Structure 1
Amino acid sequence: MRLSLALILTSAALIAGRPSTAQAPGSGPALPPEYRAYLPAPGVDRATVAPPVAKDGVQDKADRATFRDRSQSEGSPRWTMAVNDSGRGILKAFSCAAGIGLTNDNAPALVALLSRYRTDLINVTRERADAASLRPFQRDKGPVCLADKALRTATGTPLIQSAWGWTVALILSEALPDRTDALLARGRAYGESAALCGFASASEVTGGRDLAAAMLARSRSDSAFAADLQKARAEIGALSRTAPAPPPADCDAERTALATRPY
Structure 2
Amino acid sequence: MPYLEKNKTDFIFTLYPGGGFNTKDESSLQKLKKVLTSPFFKGVIVTQEFTRNFIIEKLDCPQNKIHYIFGGIIPQNSIDIKRERVYKKEDSLNICFCSAKYMAQGLDKGYDIFIDVAKMLLKNNYNVKFSVIGGFDQDEIPLGEYSKNFIFYGYKKYNELSEIFLEQDIIISPNRPFVLNDGSFDGFPLGAVVEAALNGVIPILTDELQQNSHFTDNEMIIIKPEAEAIFHSIEGLIKNEKIVHLMSNNIQSKSKKIYSHENQLNQRLKILDIYI
TM-score range normalised by the length of the shorter chain:
under 0.3
- The structure whose RCO (Cα within 8 Å, separation 6+) is larger is 1
| Higher percent of residues as strand | 2
In proportion to residue count, which structure has more helix?
A: 1
Question: Which of 1 and 2 has greater Rg?
Answer: 2
